[in-house]
Amino acid sequence: MNKKHLWGILVVLAISAFVLYADLKATPISEILRAAHGLNIFALIMVFALMLSSYVCEAGILATLAHRKKEPKRSAWSFLRIPIIQALFNAITPMSTGGQPSQLAAMIQMGMEGGRSTSILLMKFIIYQIVVLFAYVFTIIFGFHMVMTKFAGLAIFIAIGFLIHVSSIIFLLAIMFAYRFTKKATNWLMDLLAKMMKKERVEKWRKATLEKIDTFYAESQKLKKEKKKLFVASLLTVLQLLFFYSIPFMVLTALNVPCSWYQVTQMNIMIIMFMAIIPIPGASGGAEYSFQTLFSTFISSHGALILAMFIWRFSTYFFGMLLGILGWIFKPKKIKSTKND
């Protein structure tokens, strides 16, 4: 972790502290204490258990995809530290750009060869994006009207986030199922850009993009052949997302707020879509604002709303950062992969 990452942590903490200060300034402490007085401790523990279960599922996905005959046995910690390190670097880099490189570094630290680590992460990424696509489309179809009716301004940003996600997923699917067409379309786009920008810069983009398309296509073809791994990893991804998406419902349960898991979960998915377009580490500021805006429909007390927002943000964001720091410090024993891998 370098100075750039430390600055990222400081930026996140500063923005989050400012948002918290503004909320506390506008809300009497007595109101928040009153909301915390009847807190359901079991449900509160379950909030963190759900987040931890999400990390465990992701570790299971990596272990499943990494498993091969005669592969040396690695500890559960060596796989578990990968998603929590990702959580740390997702949190402290704009648009979560540090997550993928940090996972690769963690896998190399455990003794896995760089090329194979990249291959496993790409396979995990493909599965995750496909599962997320279904979740987003389902939510937009059946839940977007709730936001559009009450929060038209926020609905626009959620729609933009949805379009960005779907566009990137469609591009990935196009590589998997229309490889030649995607390469031709990419070359056509680069030719168009070359007429408007410096050719040297465009040629660098062309080379990098075509290389990524080739790598992604090769990994998607490998994944198609490993149907058992594909099934198990897909099932674990569904569980991972269900655990993660269910956290706000459990937060509201901890505050004894009567609500529907179905509606709350849909709201949460839309918050995540909105957070994806905020170019600040951890979407700080925007995440808190969107949570308060959307969940004010479930919580009448402002003090309870602030407390719910704090518990949600801490469990889904700062909890992962703290675990990620531990993961980065405590490295597993380095076990090299077998040569035939």
Is pLDDT above 90 for 226?
Answer: no
**What pLDDT, in 10s, does the model give residues 229-260?**
889 999 999 999 999 999 999 999 999 888 88
Domain boundaries, the chain: 3-162+228-329
Is pLDDT above 50 for 203?
Answer: yes
Give the separation between CA 174 and CA 130, rounded to whole angstroms: 12
Cα–chain-centroid distance for residue 57?
13
Radius of gyration of the chain measured on its C-alpha atoms: 21
For 130-163, letters b (16+ CB in 10 Å) and e give: ebbbebbeebbeebbebbeeebeebbebbbebbe
pTM recorded for the entire structure: 0.81
Give the separation between CA 34 and CA 255, rounded to whole angstroms: 11
**What pLDDT, in 10s, does the model give residues 126-166?**
888 889 888 888 888 887 777 777 666 667 777 777 787 78
